[in-house]
A and B are shown apart, each in its own frame.
Chain A
Amino acid sequence: MFLSKWWLYIIAGSLVALSLILLSVVQLREKKVDPINVGVLFSLTGPIALTEKPLIDATLLAIDEINRNGGLLGRAINPIVVDGKSDTEQFKKEAIKLIQKDKVAAIFGVWRSSTRKALKDILEKNDSMLFYPADDEGLEESPNIVYMGSMPNQTVLPAISWAMTNLGKKFFIVGSEDLFPIVLHEIIKFHLQSMGGEIVGVELVKTEDQIPPIVEKIVASAPSVIVNVLQASMNIPFFKNLRQAGITAEKIPSMSFNLTEIELKELEVPFMVGDYASWTYFQTINTPENRAFVKDLKKKYGKSSVVNAIMESAYANVYIWSRAVQDAQSIQVPSLKKHLALQVFNAPGDVVYLDEKEQHAWRTAFIGRILYNGQFEIVWSSKKQIQPLIYPPYQTREYWDDFVRKTLKKLVSHGG
């Protein structure tokens, strides 16, 4: 006999053992692991969908990237995208559903300050986390919100200071009748007074028909700079009226805090060429990281896609959350909160990190001039991250809390 029976037994036994090992390895690899649910809450419909839809793209891009690199804690991230329909009540309803029914580990979403404020109580009551991407007026802190956008001291004050040095000292402030513009107006007023600037007019706009008389006032007061905190849709009529009145960016430039590449892509660009805006990110930032980010986004969402600062913050939010989860080795909110302080991410614009006390981000500021192609030419950068100040330094915290309370009350009485 070629092989003795003992040899046959040994070979057969080894083959059985090997098969069992292979089977268990394969089973282990294929073992279903529940994904981590996260909520992506923005408006897909309604008037602010234009601004919020791209934020979904940026959030999903980051989630995709993490999933492609093996997920988080060995689990895939499952984004549950819901529509806030540009309505605060709908946002509240969807947020509750995401937290209570879908048991999401975190919510990435919301653009408007008023919506964020409306969700704050829900988040705190349910101890759930919101990663908020937009710039905000500050004057608020919550252990359940991560504020990735900039504070007024990070973009608005540097932009006003820069404008004072480079454009002139007379300012005309115009903005929509909403909490964010009103608070900015107040902060800018203090800043200009402190720096020796002059305010030649402050106007709040609620409807389009209010614009022509405001433009007349601008012409009459002949400011050096127009500070623009109008909501996106108001920009077309405002700039059209300005140009019709003979005011070009060369004559009286404007500094906008609500106008990004997204709005410029949708609006009639030439009206704004030469005007300025201040953000924590511009698509034109020339770094290898940003070039790769823009390339990836265009690859996924089409060549005509553009990126703005809020999208970049939405993208960074996912990474900051994932890093905190990695550190905590848990998706539970109490553990997560302990690992948020000083969490760092190399975002496309620059490195961002959360403050050690409040969950606001340290951000680098940029001032850009609008180009004829709807992009921004960067004319100034802080070069380093600026610490977020929730309460501007001119007044006490009590003053600002009182101011917000009164403003909100006023807005409600005005039907805002």
Chain B
Amino acid sequence: MVDKKTILIHSKVSWARKSALAIIGLFFVMTLAVWSYYFYKKKELYQKTQERMVSIAKNRSERILDHVKKYTIQGQLRAAEPFLIEEMARLRDVKPEEVSSPATIKKEQKLITFLEEKSTELTFNNTIIITPDGLVVFAHSDKNYSGKNVSQLPYSGYALGESFMRAKMSLTTDISDFDFDPLLNRPVLFVTIPILHNEKLLGMLVQRVPREPIYAIGDDYIGLGSTGDITLTDEVEDGLVFLSRIRTENTQPLKRFIALDKTSDYLFPVQLASQGDRGQGLTMDFLQDTVFAAWRYVPKVNWGIVTKITEKEVLGQLNHIRLLGFGVLILFILILLIVSFYLGWFGPLLRSVNFYLHVWWIRTILFLFLLITIVWIAYSFMNQWNINLEQFKTLGAKKVQYAAENIDYYLHNSEITVANLAYDLGANRINKYDLLPRIKREFSEHADLQGIMIAYQPYEYSKEKKLYAPFFKRTKNNDVEIRYIDESYDYTQEQLSVNEAIWAHAGWYRKALENKEITIFEPYQDPELYDQLIIKIAVPFYNPADKEKQHPMGVVAYLFNSNSITKIVEQISLGDTGFAYLLAKDGRFMVYPIKNFINDQRTGQELAGELGSPSLLRMTNEALSGKSGFGFYDDKTFQQRMWAYYSPVSSTGWPLILIFSQQELKLPPLIYRHYWIWLLVLVGIGLFFLIWIGMKYAFITSNILYFFILIESALLLAFFIIIRASPIIRQPEKAITILDQVHLRQFVNERDRYARHIDEREPVEVPCGIYLYSLNFSKPTQASVSGYVWLKYPDTLAKELMKEPQFPQVIGGTNLQKSYETHEKGFTIMGWQFTFDLAQSFDFVTYPFDTLNFVIELEHPDLSQHIVFVPAFEDYRDLRPEKLPGIHPGLTVTGFGMKKSYFSFFKESGESNFGLQSFQNTPDRYYLGYTLILQRYLFYELIVFVLPLFIVLLLLYALSWVAEKEWLPIMILSGYTGLLFSTILLHRTLRARFMTGDVLYLEYLFFMIYLTIVLLVLYLVHQVYFKGRVSYISKAFRMYKTYFWPIQLMILFIITALIFYNP
């Protein structure tokens, strides 16, 4: 029989179980509901955000079009005004010199009065009136244009000039480019309207469209949150120019440019929009942010518009739901645990888990799974290099082939140009007297064309007889100069004397005749044509009736400079170090970042010899023999492995070679470290599993604790070695490290190209060198330094220019003494001796495993001059960073080892324009920095701090066990207190050394000791007051003591992993 009490207990238990189940069920449903709601809202939010982006893009592009349309209609209405037509008829024949004459001014006054009367309905002050010949006869606010002829250079190349010509030629209202106008010194957008009357073109009425409303449209971030932006871009030759400012940058319109890689498989939304595409979606923008974006093309003005908002911000709206989700999930787990514990579910649960884990095959499977994971991570770690190599190879091949195709296309077009004149000469369509106008036309249409040589009738052809042979040369003033080759030398001869061969480069005549078709000659430097590298294309001409090409009538040769080809090659880049060069068939450099290589007629083989690389020599020879390939060579100068992809230009066989450093293939130190950390963690777990399996087979029988301690210690030690071996060097944002002349030229060329795109002056380079004699870290944020600095000012710079360096970080002890000034090779060289204290921003968080980068920033004091200091590489013997260029061999820094030194360019923050408008106009402004990487000596720090801390920990451990045997609480407590006191003293010493707001890595060891002391004291108190009656506390503390070292090591391991995973 069951008694009432039992029934009551059972009913209570049953009720409790039901309630517990209900609570668990409730929380389970709540967790499911919250997360379902989160994912539903996320999907909805994604969709709504995309729709919003599309709608904003559409709205802003309509507003832009409405704005332009308003001025177009206003202008068209004004152009139809009878008074204006009458005035235009009068002004149409004004001559340039009469523009400012009293009569014209009087006429203009009438116009002004007329326009002012209309000012309430029309924006009269933006009007320009131009005669059909292009003369600006009226410009109310844009006065600089008055009297200028916009159909003539340079104005014909400006937005207004181009718009005028289009409108005049098509008699159609034209919307100009939105472009920077050098005459008005600001960005402009015009609408040009032809004025017609009585079937006659009277002139053009130009309406300047105010740009501020356009900027306002671009700045209208309503609906775009705090990270959203609207970009308006215009496609230019090799990139995009931003027409409105970028929200995250303080950039003026038309002063931001991004170069675009045509070989890239990925196109940014700004690029897609500008080239006429449209779309929306979650994508990556040009700032490398993941954004929701909508992009479209704005017709008529031909801009691309992109509206975007970061994914982070969008998802931020759901943060509260996500937090709630996590909260409910944690609560659910907690309740599950508590209820399980309370209702005794825990035991069976653990038993069942224990049971399954003890089933040998499950254990083995888990171990094997772990092993496979370790092997897989290790394989992907090793393979990452191969993947990178494959990626670089594919990309490099693509870039080289694309450039080679472009060069081919250019040469093909040039050949056709030459053949076309040859055809006309052969068909007698041009005679000797018609030739000059045609030659002038050729020069005006082909900017690269520098000369034309023709050997042709009226003399009858004879291989040994000189023909009448004019040489047309483009002069520096773009005029045509005629000389006669036949008077200079006998070009029909096979061999020529050295003097004769100067610009003839023997064989052009004979070889073309022998080939009977278009022949491209090897490039050569032509002193006749201002030492330019010349590519000569020659073709014999025949009468069209002479189908067999039996009777040549002469030869025509065009001499092109290599500017277009240079431009194609210079645009090739790969990663941070990749650059390309082009060789002629005889190995001479045609394009190379260092121009002297071309001028000095150096060859690829010579370069290979200088670098001491037989592999490069082999690859160069292979490339010269017309083969494509991929390989590596060892650069003896920089002691690094370089990779090269080479492929010939198919029409000429000129090898195009792309070089990049093996450094590019290496994993970034942080990723490298991540791989190692995961491997370590998994190996650790794997070892535990192994012990476990070993226990099953009884070959591990002794105290398992030792194994745990051993494994953890080994892991920790391995961890420290990895941290030490892969230091993370913190570089300022967008710092570009420049290690040699090639990369310097590449960087400078890129900056020059940027400057041209945004209509800014190209920066003036001043080579700068630095040499340090002493360095001392007087304070944690300060360094005392002394040494030499020298600058090489080109003679082309103004004499009154301030000539000295500026060290913006100087905070004290300034002493800059000029040591020497001399003049060499077109440069004024000035040297200074300096001693001062520099502000530094060191990061000590990872102490004692920290790596410091000491930086000296150098700027020209006159920021308005746009002078950039560049490393004077030629003044150093060894440029390898490991060889510490710029450091005196006797220099030592207490407590640190010097690892590397190099030059970098740092980007200006752009926070301020220093009061100079022009400074702000150039967003990507760089200044020179000299960096010295220092790594802390560990030994000293280990002795001073780490060792005492471990001894304290050991003493605590010992005391805790002693306390079990010798029960004198007060003595034990005194022992704990003494250890605490020593730890605090040590901690204070550490803090005094590093006055930083951050918590140092080593401090966590202190915290561990504090916590241990607190726990041991609590245990002591429990033992004294409760006599160990609370069994589970006793049990827990015993457990803690037993596993003291594994726990401490584990905590230390976790802290180390967390801090050093992403330092």
User: Footprint of B on A, CB under 8 Å?
Assistant: 153-154, 157-158, 161-162, 190-191, 193-195, 248-250, 270, 273-274, 284, 286, 288-289, 291, 342, 344-346, 351, 353, 362, 365, 371-373, 375, 377, 379, 382-387, 389, 392-395
Is B429's CB under 8 angstroms from A249's CB?
Answer: yes
Contacts of B430 in A (CB 8 A): 250
Q: Smallest Cβ distance from A352 to chain B, in angstroms?
A: 8
Contacts of B174 in A (CB 8 A): 384, 386-387
Rounded to whole angstroms, the CA-CA distance of A279 and B194 in the bound complex is 23
Q: Say yes or no for B200: interface residue by CB 8 A criterion.
A: yes
Is A379's CB under 8 angstroms from B429's CB?
Answer: no
Contacts of A372 in B (CB 8 A): 416, 419-420, 423
Rounded to whole angstroms, the CA-CA distance of A400 and B438 in the bound complex is 40
Contact of B427 among A270, A351, A382, A387 (CB under 8 A): A270
Rounded to whole angstroms, the CA-CA distance of A312 and B297 in the bound complex is 20
CB within 8 Å for A274 and B177 given contacts A161-B169, A351-B297, A386-B166 = no
Sample (23) of A-B pairs whose CB atoms are under 8 Å apart: A154-B172, A157-B171, A157-B172, A161-B168, A193-B199, A194-B199, A194-B201, A195-B132, A248-B429, A270-B544, A274-B420, A344-B297, A345-B276, A346-B297, A351-B275, A373-B416, A373-B419, A382-B170, A383-B166, A384-B162, A384-B302, A393-B171, A394-B196
Q: Say yes or no for B299: interface residue by CB 8 A criterion.
A: yes
Is B169's CB under 8 angstroms from A157's CB?
Answer: yes
Rounded to whole angstroms, the CA-CA distance of A414 and B194 in the bound complex is 38
Is B201's CB under 8 angstroms from A154's CB?
Answer: no
Rounded to whole angstroms, the CA-CA distance of A277 and B544 in the bound complex is 23
Rounded to whole angstroms, the CA-CA distance of A153 and B196 in the bound complex is 14
Contacts of A394 in B (CB 8 A): 196, 199
Rounded to whole angstroms, the CA-CA distance of A345 and B168 in the bound complex is 27
Contacts of A377 in B (CB 8 A): 413, 416-417, 420, 445
Is A273's CB under 8 angstroms from B420's CB?
Answer: yes
Contacts of B175 in A (CB 8 A): 384
Contacts of A386 in B (CB 8 A): 166, 170, 172, 174
Is B194's CB under 8 angstroms from A393's CB?
Answer: yes
Contacts of B299 in A (CB 8 A): 342, 344, 353, 362, 385
Contacts of A284 in B (CB 8 A): 413
Contacts of A365 in B (CB 8 A): 170
Q: Say yes or no for B753: interface residue by CB 8 A criterion.
A: no
Contacts of A193 in B (CB 8 A): 199-200
Interface size bracket, B side: 35 or more
Rounded to whole angstroms, the CA-CA distance of A273 and B421 in the bound complex is 10
Rounded to whole angstroms, the CA-CA distance of A370 and B445 in the bound complex is 15
Q: Smallest Cβ distance from B996 to chain A, in angstroms?
A: 53
Contacts of A393 in B (CB 8 A): 171-172, 194, 196
Contacts of A270 in B (CB 8 A): 423, 427, 544
CB within 8 Å for A194 and B170 given contacts A346-B275, A372-B420 = no
Q: Smallest Cβ distance from B234 to chain A, in angstroms?
A: 11
CB within 8 Å for A389 and B172 given contacts A194-B199, A377-B417, A394-B196 = yes
Rounded to whole angstroms, the CA-CA distance of A194 and B200 in the bound complex is 4
Is B434's CB under 8 angstroms from A250's CB?
Answer: yes
Kindly report which residue of chain A lies nearest to residue B272, judged by CB atoms: A346
Kindly report which residue of chain B lies nearest to residue A249, judged by CB atoms: B429
Contacts of B423 in A (CB 8 A): 270, 273, 372
CB within 8 Å for A274 and B300 given contacts A382-B169, A387-B172, A389-B172 = no
Contacts of A162 in B (CB 8 A): 169
Contact with A along B270-306 (1 / 0, CB 8 A): 0000011110000000000000000011011010000
Kindly report which residue of chain A lies nearest to residue B409, judged by CB atoms: A286
Q: Smallest Cβ distance from B276 to chain A, in angstroms?
A: 3
Kindly report which residue of chain B lies nearest to residue A269, judged by CB atoms: B423
Q: Say yes or no for B571: interface residue by CB 8 A criterion.
A: no
Interface residue ranges of B426-467 to A (CB < 8 Å): 427, 429-430, 434, 438, 445
Rounded to whole angstroms, the CA-CA distance of A382 and B175 in the bound complex is 12
CB within 8 Å for A158 and B170 given contacts A250-B430, A344-B297 = yes
Q: Say yes or no for B483: interface residue by CB 8 A criterion.
A: no
Is A371's CB under 8 angstroms from B420's CB?
Answer: yes
Rounded to whole angstroms, the CA-CA distance of A281 and B498 in the bound complex is 49
Rounded to whole angstroms, the CA-CA distance of A393 and B173 in the bound complex is 11
Q: Smallest Cβ distance from A167 to chain B, in angstroms?
A: 11
Rounded to whole angstroms, the CA-CA distance of A162 and B416 in the bound complex is 23
Contacts of B169 in A (CB 8 A): 157-158, 161-162, 382
Contacts of B445 in A (CB 8 A): 377, 379
Is A154's CB under 8 angstroms from B199's CB?
Answer: no
Rounded to whole angstroms, the CA-CA distance of A387 and B193 in the bound complex is 12
Contact of B199 among A158, A190, A274 (CB under 8 A): A190
CB within 8 Å for A153 and B416 given contacts A351-B275, A386-B166 = no
Q: Smallest Cβ distance from A312 to chain B, in angstroms?
A: 14
Kindly report which residue of chain A lies nearest to residue B176, judged by CB atoms: A384
Rounded to whole angstroms, the CA-CA distance of A385 and B299 in the bound complex is 9
Contacts of A273 in B (CB 8 A): 420, 423-424, 427, 429
Contacts of A371 in B (CB 8 A): 416, 420
Q: Say yes or no for B262: interface residue by CB 8 A criterion.
A: yes
Is B424's CB under 8 angstroms from A274's CB?
Answer: yes
The 7 closest A-B pairs by CB, nearest first: A346-B276, A161-B169, A351-B276, A158-B169, A372-B423, A353-B299, A248-B429
Rounded to whole angstroms, the CA-CA distance of A288 and B430 in the bound complex is 35
Contacts of A387 in B (CB 8 A): 172-174, 300
Contacts of A289 in B (CB 8 A): 275
Contacts of B434 in A (CB 8 A): 250
